[in-house]
Chain A
Amino acid sequence: MRRRELLKYGAATTVAASFGQRIARAADPSVIKFGVVGPKTGPLAPGAAVTHFPNFKLWAYEINQRGGLKLKDGMHKVELIEYDDRTQPPETIKAVERLATVDKVDFIMPVYATGFNLAVAPIYAKYNYPLVTQACVTDQMDQLIKRYPNIFFVQGSTTSFAQAAIDILKKLKDDKQIGNKVAVVNVADDFGIELANAGRPIFKKAGFDIVYDKSYPLGTQDLAPVVKAAKAANPDAFVAWSYPPDTFGLAEQAKIEGLNVKAYYSAVATAFPGFYQKFGPAAENVLGAGGIKDTPEIRAYYKAHKEATGVDADYWGSPFYYSLLQMITQSIEGVGSMDLKAITAYLKSHTFKTIVGELDIRNQKLDKFYTVGQWQNGFFNAVAGVGFTDYSPVKLKTSWG
């Protein structure tokens, strides 16, 4: 019986401590509270641990370092209130409602991934919070903008990503640097299917001969047969509409099998710093989704990100995520208060100076983003995009080192 009692008291203490923590958190009324919801557990947690949470941490750290947000009535420190949605939409909805009605936060950051942002869009609209989505790729932007006056999109549509990758190959083909035979594989899941379906007609139109076209299920461990068969078709270029685990697996097999195509593209996760860390010089000249222009501001951002959060930022979403936080900061300080409707209006009527350049989101869609990057000397340089003017030239892949 004693043991039980001990357990009982232990549990009671934990619960009491948790409430204490909560009361302590709400102490200082001048602090501006920002809500953050995202997956800390569940299938999307690894991605969020790179692109979602660290950026907010870095942002809050930097704002507080410089004394806080500058509003009309003086400087205000910021505080993040974070919740785990366990990669389940109802949990995301509940956590956002909790932020809005229980914690009564002054602002809510976007949630992580397409479906989740769309699931909470009505709640943000109900409470007037601007929803500046990130990691939200959809072909229905225009309908959604019509539905929600407070929603903003920072990334392009699925089609624009497929189009950009194929444009790069077309240019190489037209310049007679590669032939017209292309091997295409895709992961049979969400984004992989969408990209493959969007890509097929674009390849045909660009005059490519698809010599190999195959999908593999998500979570396939052994990708050797896929790469072997692609190699047997003797292609000039290899395109994989892939996801994080298979992006790594395909590169591994391509290296082992010696798939020496002159242009090698894999989609999601090629832009992860881990990709270069794993393959080193063999990753040189691999093409992938994302990319970022190499500038001193960006280099400083990567350094600060690593120092403040302990993890490396990626070369696709991360710098843009940070840019949109800069846009939010400038809007709040421009308005001079936490008037949410005024902040939304400010976003819709101004342009912003950010680490990726001058950004314009006036019609609720960002005017520029990068679509294709290439590993060049250990940096994932942007070689194509929309709205920017200055891209690095594409290099041919010589071998896997």
Chain B
Amino acid sequence: MTSEAQAAAPVPVTKSTGHRLGITGREWRNLAIAAVLFALAAVVPLVGSGYVQSIAISIAIYTALATSWMLFSGPTNYISLATAAFFGSGMYIVAGGLDLAPYPVLVLLAGVAGALFAAVVGLATLRISGVYFVIFSLGLAELVRQIITWLQHVLGTMSGLYVYVDRSEEMFFWQLLALTAVVYLVGWWIGRSRLGFALRIIGNDELVAVHCGINTARAKVILFVISSTFAAIAGALVAPRWSYVEPTIAFSPFLSFQVVIMALLGGVHRLWGPLLGVIPFTLLWELISANFPAQTTLLLGAAFLLIVYFIPNGVVGLIEDALRQRGEWLKSLRLLLVRRSRDA
């Protein structure tokens, strides 16, 4: 719990450099680094082949999904398996509405619908906790899938919907990259707001949070809504790339699981944690499916076992351990040098 307690330390707003927003010099530096990294990422599809582009798109999708998942589930410790429910809903809003409204409007609409849907679901279910919430969230995608199937049955429409929007692969990537940037900005803003502070207290002990006078239900619903809105928008952005949307594919439980696994592999107590899970996970899976096409699932299972065995705290934990070790090593080196000079 110690690392969580450290992560839960409030942002020192009072120690600001005098700027109105209270952004410290260190934060400015981090923002600048992030901006440079995003600019570099944006160049990737221009220099890479079609294959590199498709990997970059996978990474962008899962970074957006895993990071937005982590916004809610990271601080609160509520493991949500509902990503596919919102992702699929976003897809269906685009697929179903393409004859009625222009595509950009539908993307916004998907976000709004995702937010409303999450608000209703959140108000109804975020009072339950632990394993009950996990199971409910898993059932949610299946519920939406059944409702859409039923609607198609009643309305007598086709089971698959066609999404014809002309977009190049580069464009898909940039759109998703832009979404990821927004997720990061929002995540950063939450992290330094009162809301983020409240959520970390909820995650550590909900009872304590209630006693502190935090409206826990409200805080959780707000975060759940933000997180789900991004999932719905991601679905809306990806729909034209799939060309054809049907319930079994759009609401695939695999997606929800993959997002959780990637986020946990990276680490959920830092905003950039999920990214460090998504990139190695995507590349590892790519390596396995390219070289052992007949045994992907088997080898992936073995890879999971090794990961859990070697890096139980996620990639972030690994990096922090390494930094700490280096720090200690430097300290001992300094001591040694000091002693040597004193002896001399």
Contacts and interface: CB of A to CB of B under 8 A. Distances in A.
A88 B254 contact: yes
A121 B159 contact: no
A189 B293 contact: no
Nearest to B299: A14
Interface stretch (B130-138, B145-153, B189-197, B323-331): B145-153
A86 interface: yes
A83 B287 CA distance: 12
Contacts of B287: 15, 18
Contacts of B162: 118, 140, 143
Contacts of A40: 293-294, 296
A319 to B, nearest CB: 25
Contact of B306 (A7, A22, A115, A123): A7
Nearest to B245: A115
Interface residues of A, number: 53
B87 to A, nearest CB: 12
A43 B241 contact: no
A84 B51 CA distance: 16
Contact of A189 (B52, B159, B243, B290): B159
A79 interface: no
Contact of B293 (A82, A115, A158, A191): A82
Interface in A150-204: 158, 188-191, 193-194, 196-197
Interface in A66-94: 82-84, 86, 88-91, 93-94
B47 to A, nearest CB: 13
Contacts of A188: 149-150, 153
Interface stretch (A95-103, A330-338, A379-387): A95-103
Nearest to A8: B310
A194 B158 contact: yes
Contact of A89 (B50, B156, B164, B249): B249
Interface string B35-57: 00000000000000111111101
Contacts of B290: 22, 83, 98, 102
B325 to A, nearest CB: 16
Contacts of A114: 160, 244
A183 to B, nearest CB: 18
Contacts of B175: none
B292 interface: yes
Interface in B244-276: 244-249, 252, 254
Contacts of A21: 291
Given A43-B248, A158-B158, 20 more contacts: A19-B291, A40-B293, A86-B297, A88-B254, A90-B58, A90-B242, A94-B51, A94-B286, A95-B289, A97-B49, A97-B53, A98-B54, A118-B243, A119-B244, A122-B243, A127-B50, A189-B247, A190-B159, A190-B248, A193-B159
27 contacts: A4-B310, A7-B306, A21-B291, A40-B294, A42-B254, A43-B248, A82-B294, A83-B289, A86-B254, A86-B297, A88-B249, A89-B242, A90-B58, A93-B54, A95-B289, A101-B49, A115-B249, A119-B241, A121-B243, A122-B243, A158-B158, A188-B149, A189-B247, A190-B159, A193-B159, A197-B153, A217-B146
